[in-house]
Amino acid sequence: MRTKLTLTLLLVLLLSACQQESTESTQTLRHSEKKVYRHSEDDRPNSLDPIKASTVYSNLLVVNIFDTLYAYKYLERPYALKPNLAVDMPSISENGLVYTIKIKPEVRFTDHLAFTNGQGREVKAQDFVYSIMRSFDPNNGGTGAWLWQGKIVGIDDWREAGADYDALIPGLLALDDYTIQIKLTEPYPQLTYTLAMGFSAITPREVVEHLGQEFGSKPVGSGPFKLTSFNSDTAYLAKNPNFRAEPLDLAYEGYDPELHSKYGIQKLSGKAPPFIDELEVHFIKETSSRWHSFTKGNEIHYTTVPKDKQSAVILQQEPLQLHPQITDQYHYTYGLEAGFVYHGFNMQDPDFGISGDEVQNQKNHALRCAIRKAHNWSQKNRAFYFGLGQVFPGIIPPSVPEFDPAMSIDSVEVDIEAARTLLSDYGWTADNLPLFEYHVSGSVLQKQFFEQMRGFMHAIGYPANKIKYQPYPNFGQFNKAVKNRQAPFFFMGWTLDYPDAENTLQLFYGPNETPGQNNFNYHNPKFDALFEQSRILQPSTERTALYREMNQMVVDDCVVISGLSRNKIHLWHKNVITFPDREIVGGFHLRYVDIIPE
Amino acid sequence: MNIWPFVIKKLIGAIPLLLGVTLLAFLLMVYFGPDLTYELLGKNPSQQDIDNIRTILGYDQPFIWRYLNYLRELLTFDFGMSMMKDQPVIDMLTQAIPVSLLLMLPGFILGNVLAIILALKATQYRGLWPDKTIMTFAVIGMSVSFLVVIIAFQIIFSSSYGLDWFPVRGWNLTSQEGHFSLWQYLYHVSVPTLATLFVSLGYNTRFYRAVLVEEMNKDYITTARASGHSTTRITYQFMLKNAMIPIITRVMFSIPLIIISGSLLIESYFGIPGVGQITYDAIIAGDQAVLKAVIGLTSVLFVLVLLIAEIIYRVFDPRIDSRQAA
């Protein structure tokens, strides 16, 4: 008995000692000079090579390790560009075909063995040229070439000729060490946006050649942070001590005292970022683990509110109000995502799309429209997005300036009677309705989406045995089915690459049919003509009118059941000064994070 | 006892086994595994882009060439680059395997040692309240989902809603000076170990109890009792020694799974960069470079474990040696 008691006491002592030691070490860290900010994301990146920065997770890290020519202003909404490595906004020729960009001198890459004496050298215009070339090298597996394909003079020929990095591309030149010239095949008003994306981040040739493919896990750039280590759970970054000193000009960055003063951002005015010594980005898919780590107080400083915690966090939906226990402890902000979710039809599918038979085309059109009328966005919003999402008609989401708030909402309103009438008017009966396959990347949530969809379809008389769930084990397999036109109906999301509706309209441009981005395989000559007319126009009322006309065509043709932009709630500890936003800006805000010593 | 001829014979005998396992696994990977091409494509790919990716991934090579290349990789321990992570596979594994070992070892050792002790007690008091109590707890441990145990333990021991004694995440075993810290290790490993113990103890105790009960009913135990040996001597010197063959088998065959598989759930929930997550990600994504390494190394480890187990069998049961000699 005595032995057991002694053993129990020893165990308790040991556990207490662990706890005591750890508390001490935490306190020591708190009192040390180092400012460590621990950020969290709900998924993890694969590669940190800029040419593969196709996910928000990769992009978030890439724009902090590397420099891009342009960036988004920290606080200004709608999003606005500003020079980053560039000295100024590009000088554009009158015909819109030649861009000249000066870059800042004396900007250096962080140190690496591949540099002479291991010391980072100055970033030159030629590095930008090299970085864009990398996306077009077929041996690299880059995913960003689509941004400039067919648009920069000579770049496609360069790829065809074997991607020789010492060869010149007439449309992509370093005129001198600090001047870049880009010549376009036709005006491309979105070009400057693409130069703020991780895909265009600037990489040093000697390090890339030294590391080969490993560059994606050991990146070296000239951004505000440098990567110290990276594993499946966390990326550890340290402040780049040589990052150029550019004091924060709050007015220029879009500071609005009404919106931002409560976060303490004004304290950073005039100081040069980055303000923290170390940045940790934790990749936490498990919502309970992320929440417990956040609420613990001494682990991660920032999280978005996980779906399963929303009921515990939200007190009232309209206007959004959080529980006092949350607002007392944490800062918060919320906003619409720059993107949306939608259901799409494959217009090449004989059962739902367009074929050579005009009568059948009209029947199929009625069928698609009836399914759209059956879809209850409002219910979906309540059931899966806590009623916080914004339902909008068409494919121009509220996050872009071309969004039309006055557009008819008929296409997102449920109307069972009208759907039933439409089906019967065009001769659709339970016997002749085609098999409805719901293709998705499989998960519990997607299965729930399907069950809801099945309910909607049942309401218009679609037989249960003709509605089939078709899940895929991962996004790659699902994407393969879509690209190979094997998915007549699918559920997807789109994240905007830049704040311009061209980014969503091009999803319906005929020549972009699969395996391109037009997963709907939608071919409408009128739409294509308008797209070709508008894509070379600078932002203007004329262009907006064309965009909206195209939007209406897609709605009228019932190609897509769209859409809903989700709303995210961001929470962070009160000792952290930040204004988080991972939408289009994709991580530029991390350089402005500061921690108030306790 | 010269074991080298035995070892060499066993190793030669393992070659067809390894070839069979690797061939079967590779066949499944190539023809039934996920196609990574469409995971790696950019937003507006052309057919040429698709073909390029397939070439980079090696999908355009003939099957036999790819399999021979796999065997070469296995022999040289050079598994190339991960198809997803831009990291050499061997680097990923050498970083993650020690983490998984450190994470799983305490639970593994305690789970087996405590289970044997509890099984001995249960056997000793078979049918009485200690036996029933132990078995009740064992069944509870077996019945509750591991995921539920992890979440519950994390809330109880780590979160601000519970005792808040241990970390939720942030695996870091070094002191501020950058050296390995035992305290940091205990701080991070305690809750995962408790969760592992809660579940594994149930399975192990029931298994070991069954083995020991079977042993207890044998004639030599009755003879030993009749000869007047003490219960302690009978239990530990005779019964436990004779029950060691199945115990060793169970323990040894768990080792490759601990080294290579780790524990996905523990690693995910506690933010531990172990091999479980790497393997899971590779399976889901179809990262064949990582999968080939994991499957190949697991097969090799199983062969080695089998060999070592047979050597240890001889220590506990010399009859095996003499039978094989005959």
The whole-number pLDDT of residue B176 equals 80
Largest Cα separation within chain A, whole Å, is 93
Question: A205-234 b/e with 16+ CB inside 10 Å = b?
Answer: bebbebbebbbbbbbbbbbbbbbeebbbbb
CB contact under 8 A, A54 and B43: yes
Residues of chain A with CATH 3.10.105.10: 339-565
pLDDT tens for A463-508 read 999 999 999 988 889 999 999 999 999 999 999 999 999 999 999 9
Class of the CATH domain delimited by A39-274: alpha beta
Residue B283 pLDDT greater than 60, yes or no: yes
Class of domain A339-565: alpha beta
pLDDT of res. A21: 45
Residue A235 DSSP SS3: strand
Residue B209 clears pLDDT 70, i.e. is over it? yes
What Rg value do the Cα atoms of chain B yield, rounded? Answer: 24
User: Tokens 């509890």, residue?
Assistant: B118
Query: What's the pLDDT score for residue B280?
Result: 87
Residue A24, pLDDT score: 42
Q: Which residues in chain B are contacts of A475 at CB distance < 8 A?
A: 38-39
Closest CA to B104 of B244, B270, B301: B270
Could you tell me if A373 and A422 are in contact, meaning their C-beta atoms sit under 8 angstroms apart? Answer: yes
For A63-120, what is each residue's pLDDT tens digit?
A: 999 999 999 999 999 899 999 999 999 999 999 999 999 999 999 999 999 999 999 9
Contacts of A145 in chain B (CB under 8 A): 42, 49
**Predicted model pTM:** 0.90
Q: Which of A292, A308, A444, A485 to mutate to test the interface with B (most CBs of B within 10 A)?
A: A292
Report in angstroms the alpha-carbon separations of B189 from A185, A230, B179.
59, 21, 17
Question: What is chain B's mean pLDDT, rounded?
Answer: 89
| Min Cα separation A139/chain B (Å) | 7
Interatomic CA distance for residues A370 and A372, integer angstroms: 5
In this prediction, residue B321 carries a pLDDT of: 66
The pLDDT confidence band at residue B236, using thresholds 50, 70 and 90, is confident
A515 to B285: CB separation less than 8 angstroms, yes or no = no
Of the CA atoms within 13 Å of residue B324, those in its CB half-sphere come to 16
Q: Comparing A132 with A18, which gets the higher pLDDT?
A: A132
Weakest-pLDDT range from A188-192, A507-511, B105-109, B305-309 = B305-309
Domain(s) of CATH 3.40.190.10: residues in chain A:
39-274
pLDDT category of residue A5 using cuts at 50, 70 and 90: very low
Residue B102: closest CA among B288, B235, B274, B218 = B274
Q: Where are the alpha helices (DSSP H) in chain B?
A: 4-32, 37-40, 47-57, 63-76, 89-124, 129-143, 146-153, 182-216, 219-226, 231-232, 240-242, 244-256, 264-270, 275-285, 288-316, 318-325
Residue A20, pLDDT score: 43
The tally of CA atoms less than 13 A away on the side-chain side of residue B76 is 10
Q: Which residues contact A379 (CB under 8 A, 6 or more apart)?
A: A414, A452
Q: What is d(CA A232, CA B139) in angstroms, rounded to the nearest whole number?
A: 35
CATH T-level topology, domain B90-260:
MetI-like fold (1.10.3720)
Cis peptide bond upstream of A563, omega within 30? yes
CB A278 within 8 A of CB A239: yes
Task: Tell me the nearest-neighbour CA distance from A353 into chain B, angstroms.
Answer: 22
| Smallest Cα distance from A292 to chain B, Å | 5
Give ∠ CA A397-A400-A404 in degrees, rounded to 5: 65
Which of A28-42, A89-103, B47-61 bottoms out in mean pLDDT, i.e. has the lowest? A28-42
Stronger pLDDT, A300 or B83, i.e. the higher one = A300
Tell me the average pLDDT across B111-123.
94
Is residue A179 classed as helix, strand or coil in its secondary structure?
A: strand
B100 neighbors B263 (Cβ within 8 angstroms): yes
Tell me the backbone φ, ψ of residue A105, rounded to 5 degrees.
-80, 165
pLDDT tens digit string along A506-526?
Answer: 999 999 999 999 999 999 999
Sign of the torsion angle spanned by Cα atoms A424, A426, A432, A435: negative
For chain B positions 1-60, those within 8 Å of chain A (CB to CB) are 34-50, 52-53, 55-56
Please state, in angstroms and rounded to a whole number, the distance separating the CA atoms of residues A509 and A271: 46
Of B95, B169, B269, Cβ closest to residue A299: B169
A7 versus B263: the higher-pLDDT residue is B263
**Which residue type, as a one-letter code, is found at position A337?**
E
What contacts A359, CB < 8 A, 6 or more positions away? none
Confidence of residue B323 (pLDDT cuts 50, 70, 90): low
What contacts A524, CB < 8 A, 6 or more positions away?
A: A508, A510, A553, A557
- The whole-number pLDDT of residue A32 equals 57
Q: Which residue of B has its CA nearest to A160?
A: B48
Binary contact (A18, B268; C-beta < 8 A): no
DSSP class of residue A271 equals P
* Min distance A480 CA to chain B CA atoms (Å): 6
Angle at Cα A99 formed by Cα A140 and Cα A585, nearest 5°? 60
Q: Which tokens hold the place of B297?
A: 């190394």
Confidence of residue B317 (pLDDT cuts 50, 70, 90): confident
**B216 pLDDT more than 70:** yes
pLDDT, mean of residues B22-44: 87
For residue B80, the model assigns a pLDDT of: 92
**Cβ separation of A296 and B168 shorter than 8 Å?**
yes
Which residues pair with residue A344 across a beta bridge?
Answer: A490, A560
What ipTM was estimated for this complex? 0.87
Listed in sequence order, the residues at least 6 apart from B243 whose beta carbon sits closer than 8 Å to its beta carbon are B208, B211, B212, B215
Q: Does B281 touch chain A (CB under 8 A)?
A: yes
For residues A451 and A318, what is the distance between their CA atoms, to the nearest angstrom? 28
> Contact at 8 Å (CB) between A396 and A552?
no
Contact present, A276 and A594 (Cβ < 8 Å): yes
Cα–Cα distance between A95 and A596 in angstroms, integer?
Answer: 50
Q: How far apart are CA A565 and CA A495, in angstroms?
A: 10
SS3 B221: helix
- Residues A117, A100: contact at Cβ < 8 Å? no
Tokens of A124: 């030159």
Q: Residue B157: which of B188, B191, B125, B208 has the closest Cα? A: B191
**Closest residue of chain B to A16, computed from CA coordinates:** B165
Q: Which residue has the higher pLDDT, A14 or B297?
A: B297
Type of residue found at A471 = P
Q: What is the tens place of the pLDDT at every residue in A161-204? A: 999 999 999 999 999 999 999 999 999 999 999 999 999 999 99
Mean pLDDT of chain A: 93
**Amino acid, single-letter form, for residue B54:** R
Q: Is the pLDDT of residue B198 over 90?
A: yes
Residue among B42, B46, B183 minimizing CB distance to A143: B42
According to DSSP, residue A116 is labeled G
Greatest alpha-carbon pair distance for chain B in Å reads 85
Q: What's the per-residue H, E or C state across A454-466?
A: HHHHHHCCCCHHH
> What does the pLDDT read at residue A474?
85
Name which of B41, B150, B180 to mutate to probe chain A: the one with the most chain A Cβ atoms within 10 A of its Cβ: B41
Signed CA dihedral, A470, A474, A475, A481: sign only = negative
- The count of CB pairs under 8 A between chains A and B is 179
pLDDT of residue A12: 45
Contacts of B46 in chain A (CB under 8 A): 515-516
pLDDT at A496: 94
Residues B154, A292: C-beta atoms closer than 8 Å: yes
